[in-house]
Amino acid sequence: MLAATLAAMTLATPVGAARAAVTDAFYDRAFMLAAHQKCDLFEPGLIAALDAAALQARNAALRAGTPAADLTAAAARARSKASRTACDDGDLNRVRARVEAGFAGWSRAARMSFPGDRSAWRGDRYESKTMGWRLVQDSSTGGSPVRFGLAGSHPTATTPMAVVSFVGRPRPYAARLVMRDREQAPRVWLTGGGLPPEAVRRAFFAASARAAAPGLLPEGARQGEIWTFSNEAADALAQLDPRETFVIQFLFRDDSVAEARFEAGDFAAGRAFLAMGAI
């Protein structure tokens, strides 16, 4: 029964849940999204919440060891089930009511943390007059703190940025975001710290740099620089496996490179959280 399968839907997958449980959670969310596409069940804000939930469930299943092929098959089964379910099905409508009730409170959440294996993305849906972090992860290079994420005054109008506060070093002349090239290396790369060899990497160079506003600086930093990247870079990052690594590299005139390592994690789910709009 649909009600028995989906009644316990929640946004976050419990830590340490069995592989079958997290795969089932992904199936549940994929089914509801497919049913909505067919029957127009939910308001846009709730769909954004379900998108975030589906992405979180998928990532939790991958981290639990579920093969990506199994999740692809689960999504196909969910779409098939939705295609065979009538829009006026009583069981579906009961589940719809439970989903609406369950996600109504969560849709009012202003902030959320998206934990990964080693690091977390922090989401913030507040609107402000000044630019602030809407989705951010902290890292460092040597003794210098680095932040990367999406910044803006509104959660649905953001720009990918890295902010670095170098200690005792000259200003770099360029910065680039480096990750797996999905065309050159279609399979997820989890060895070597989650970053593939240079031959199958893709790099996005920062388009501009400027002094960072105080609200964007890493904690405790008094000064720093913003390096701005393209939305294409953010789109590519959202396609990575949550267990993969990407890096921000800062290039210096003496041919040295300072590198800050980040975890892809639930970046895509964080973007879906922001898509719900300002609180």
Report whether pLDDT(99) > 60: yes
Report whether pLDDT(42) > 80: yes
Q: Which of 92, 93, 61 is nearest to 74 (CA)?
A: 61
Residue that wins the pLDDT comparison between 94 and 260: 260
Mean pLDDT of the chain: 89
Report whether pLDDT(139) > 80: yes
Domain 113-274 CATH assignment equals 2.30.30: no
**Domain residue ranges in the chain:** 2-108, 113-274
Are the beta carbons of 232 and 204 closer than 8 angstroms? yes
Report for 22-31, 249-258, 270-279: range of highest mean pLDDT: 249-258
The rounded percent of the chain whose pLDDT value lies above 70 is 94
> Which pLDDT tens digit goes with each residue over 214-232?
999 988 888 999 999 999 9
Query: Tell me, what's the pLDDT at 75?
Result: 95
What average pLDDT does this structure show over 147-165? 96
Query: Tell me, what's the pLDDT at 14?
Result: 44
> Which pLDDT tens digit goes with each residue over 8-38?
343 333 444 457 788 888 998 999 999 999 9
Chain centroid to Cα 175, Å, comes to 22
Complete edge-to-edge strand list for the sheet that includes strand 201-205: 201-205, 174-180, 245-251, 257-263
